[in-house]
Structure 1
Amino acid sequence: MESLPSEWTPIKLGSIVNITNGFAFKSENFLTSLTFNTLPVLKIKNVANGDVHLKDVQYHLIDSKYDKYTSSKGDILITLTGNHPQALTQVVGAVSKQKFDTLAYINQRVAKIDPISSLAFKDFIYYFLKEKSTHDYLASQSSGSANQANISKADIENVELLLPPVTEQIAIASVLSSLDDKIDLLHHQNKTLESMAETLFRQWFIEEAQADWEITTLDCHITVAKGLSYKGSGLTTSDNGIPLFSLNSVLEGGGYKSAGLKYYNGDFKERHIINPGDIIVANTEQGHEYRLIGYPAIIPTIKSELSIYTHHLFKISINDDSYLTNAFLYYLLCSKDMHEQVVAATNGSTVNQLSADGLQRPEFKLPPECMVKEFTTQIDFFWKKISINNSQIKNIESLRDTLLPKLMSGEVRVQYAEEAIASVA
């Protein structure tokens, strides 16, 4: 390791960037779909989880008086309101970069950060703000409750950093960007594979379903078990507990989300154990938007030999006398018709709930066993490739997260980082 570079200058962030707070657009002026002369409005939920996205976005008519509140590709956005870091999602001070080409408006409690000095390189500032110690500092400055923490423009401006010469800023950002580009490419490959699998299921079993296929119900093929009603006092760290898959382990619309993994050191029974490859289904959802309830995820392979799941999830086991497979069942539960039937069986006012009986009641056309087997063979190929990609993503993310603080502090210089990157190329 080299000594800390003497040519790096200690400064406050506010001396080299301009911070623009978003505008308080009125909710009655929001539009639910893109029409002529409108732009999407980026809210906290579109920025807070590490990437700027347009999922469930709303739109607003374009007006020149809002020009200063626009965001474009490459812009740095930060959440001024959110949860404390323990919550894992929608955390205050979360920083994301806009990667899509569309212009957008930024809503209140989202801010845009622009370099205003020739001494600052935009992507270097982005990675500085992504670094854990920077985020921890901003979170420590927040005020408000655990799920309504707030930071101000001044809090961001007062963050101190060591600023390298611009040429070195560019080199550092280039190293880190190359890793993010590899990660983005692998994610894109996975989305393509997932889309191919969904298309295959839809073509074979919905669009080309035969009239003479037997109509059956899920309860003829599956057994449903509910997870552990755990005590909050049993939640702990990964060093002291076993993995606990939670409601947050299921993506809206189906799929696995790693952010939902908790750790538990309390009591549980053998029936609460879950294994890689098992299907879980969300049985609870706040509100009645039906984005989560009834949707499945596949338990991934993780390092722990033992894992459990919470009471907000069902585990689905295929009966011995059924030739259905987890691959077929997963895409069946993701399908529009099946989800509509499941949703019809839910109930609850504030919190919507799905019973085991409600999950087992829906009907579907049962394809021949040979088709299910052939479909499963093809899906297994897709899933294995996705699993390999996910392993690569984890390795690259680990390398990036290791290099980031060391590059930002000058502890590791660019040439050493490039050697490390070559090992995962």
Structure 2
Amino acid sequence: MEEWKIYKIGDLFSHFKSGKGIKADEITPKGDYPVFGGNGLRGYTSRYNFEGDCAIIGRQGAFCGNVRYFKGKAYMTEHAIIAVANDNNNTRFLAYLLGVMKLGRFSGQSAQPGLAVSELAKQLISVPALSLQNKIASILSSLDDKIELNRRLNDNLEQQATSLFESWFVNHDPWNGVRPPDWINAPLGSFVEIKRGGSPRPIQYYLSDSGLRWLKISDVTSLSSPFVREIKEYIKEDGLRKTVFLHAGELVLSNSATPGIPKILDVDTCIHDGWLYFPKSELSKYYLYLFFKYIRKELIALSNGSVFNNLKTDILKAFPVTKASETILKEFDTLVIPLFDAMLNADRENFKLVAMRDALLPKLMSGEIDVSNIQI
């Protein structure tokens, strides 16, 4: 097995610095280049200050110490450390290695944690020769590349479903831009039963390390997929009579804190009163998912609350809807269901790939698995 040697982190990189400031009004949902900062991806901008491959280390904020590999053009803010390996090291390998080191522990103890570039550069780390770095990076990157490919595929599939929804039910393209006369105008509650989840209280008493899954809004706020598979918290079965238990395949909609987020469950879970669900509906879950995404800005505008935004059930029930004929709705579902099925299959594959990568990562980074004789 090849020997691993100890170096200062800063000695492994030809570039190890924080980024530069950017004005908030330059960051938008659209743009040519991603903007990375202390809280990960912040949006996009029309200019970049970095090109190549690097390890991005969150320097401040909730993502302090988090590491991700990036290749391309991007704008790096002062809240991100950009680390580019020197000629004797592999940047992607070092990104994996730094990722398992829990760099956040080197931050200060103030209310707002932060990493000092100079202090982090002094920390010691054990690394193998470049040849072994390349092999380990190749093994892990093959998994990550497949995960990313699946994510991009799903983004494309969801865009197709969204475009089809808007073409049919917003622009009425198949009918020369004119809504068919047999479509019905009525409140959403006329076609869909809308109910709210429930919370056993005090919730701290019911939280557990195992038991029934307990879906929180925070589980989905950064989730790009239509499907929910990973849920972090559980509650005791004693809490079941005071909450709502839903099976995989059901649609939910957030109605508080960050309202108007639709998701389709891929696991059984309990939902608290910050979620709405739909026991009966004349509209499919796929149609409703796309409909809620389309009207989300309106739902946010209709929500209210002194501390958190809250989308009341009655508001959603009264929301005006134009319901297409049964024939059109069935034709639409026939087209979009295969798209959602493909997204779900890719999500499930990614779940397995992530588990495999996360199991391999610490073993490869510690040298527990010897890959020195593997030919790549």
User: Taking structure 2 as the reference length, what is the TM-score of the superposition?
Assistant: 0.86
Any conservation in 1 of the 2:186–2:321 contact (CA below 8 Å)?
Answer: yes
Deviation at 1:224, TM superposition (A): 2.1
Q: Helix, strand or coil for the counterpart of 2:84?
A: strand
- Deviation string, structure 1 residues 202-230 (Cα, Å, up to 9, x no partner): 12222116241211111112222222335
SS of the residue corresponding to residue 197 of structure 1 reads: helix
Are the equivalent residues in 1 in contact too, given 2:154–2:225 (CA < 8 A)?
no
Greater shift, 170-179 or 372-381, is seen at: 372-381
Output one character per residue of 1:22-43: Cα deviation in whole Å (capped at 9) or x when no partner: 334565xx4355999x976532
1:11-410, aligned counterparts within 5 Å?
A: 11-17=7-13, 18-25=15-22, 30-32=25-27, 41-45=35-39, 47=40, 53=41, 55=43, 57=44, 70-83=49-62, 91-99=63-71, 101-104=72-75, 106-116=76-86, 118-131=87-100, 134-135=101-102, 138-144=103-109, 148-208=112-172, 210-212=179-181, 213-230=183-200, 231-237=203-209, 240-251=210-221, 255-256=226-227, 261-265=232-236, 267-269=239-241, 272-285=244-257, 292-300=258-266, 302=267, 306-319=268-281, 323-335=282-294, 338-410=295-367
SS for the counterpart of 1:182 is: helix
Post-superposition shift, 1:281? 0.9
Identical counterparts, % of pairs? 23
CA distance in structure 2 between the partners assigned to 1:344 and 1:210 by the alignment: 26
In 2, the alpha carbon distance for the partners of 1:114 and 1:24 equals 19
Contiguous gaps of at least 5 residues in structure 2? 173-177
Counterpart of 1:318 in 2: which secondary structure? Answer: coil
Question: Contact 2:228–2:264 at 8 Å: present in 1 too?
Answer: no
1:249 offset after TM fit, Å?
3.3
Residue 149 of structure 1 aligns to a residue whose secondary structure is coil
Q: 2:225 & 2:188 partners in 1: Cα distance?
A: 18
Quote the Cα distance in structure 2 between the aligned partners of 1:142 and 1:236. Answer: 30
Post-superposition Cα deviations, 1:301-335, rounded to whole Å, max 9, x if no partner, equal x3xxx52012211112224xxx3211111111111
CA shift for structure 1 position 399: 1.5
What letter matches 1:295 in structure 2?
A: I
Inter-partner Cα distance in structure 2 for 1:199 and 1:35: 18
Task: List per-residue Cα deviations over 1:35-78 (Å, max 9, x = no partner).
Answer: 99x97653223x2xxxxx463x4667x8xxxxxxx322422211
Q: Contact between 1:295 and 1:334, CA under 8 Å: does it hold in 2?
A: yes
Amino acid at match of 1:10: I
Separation of aligned partners in 1, 2:371 and 2:225: 40
For these two proteins, the number of residue pairs brought into alignment is 365
Secondary structure of 2:26's counterpart equals: coil
Which residue is 1:8 aligned to? Answer: 4
SS in 1 for 2:170: helix
| Root-mean-square deviation (Å) | 3.0
CA shift digits 1:346-379 (9 cap, x unpaired): 1124421110001111112110101212222332
Letter in structure 1 aligned against 2:68: S
SS of the equivalent of 1:108 reads: coil
**Kept in 2: contact 1:254–1:296 (CA 8 A):** no
Closer/same/farther in 2, CA of residues 167 and 270 from structure 1, 3 Å limit? same
Normalising by structure 1, report the TM-score: 0.77
- Please tell me whether the aligned partners of residues 248 and 260 of structure 1 are also in contact (alpha carbons under 8 angstroms): no
Structure 1's 309 and 189: CA in aligned 2 closer, same or farther, altered over 3 A? same
| Cα offset, 1:245, TM superposition | 0.9
- CA gap of 1:40–1:244, structure 2 versus 1, over 3 A, is closer
Counterpart for residue 175 of structure 2: none
Distance 1:58 1:181, change over 3 A: closer
CA distance in structure 2 between the aligned counterparts of 1:381 and 1:309, rounded to whole angstroms: 27
Deviation of 1:6 after TM superposition, in Å, equals 5.3
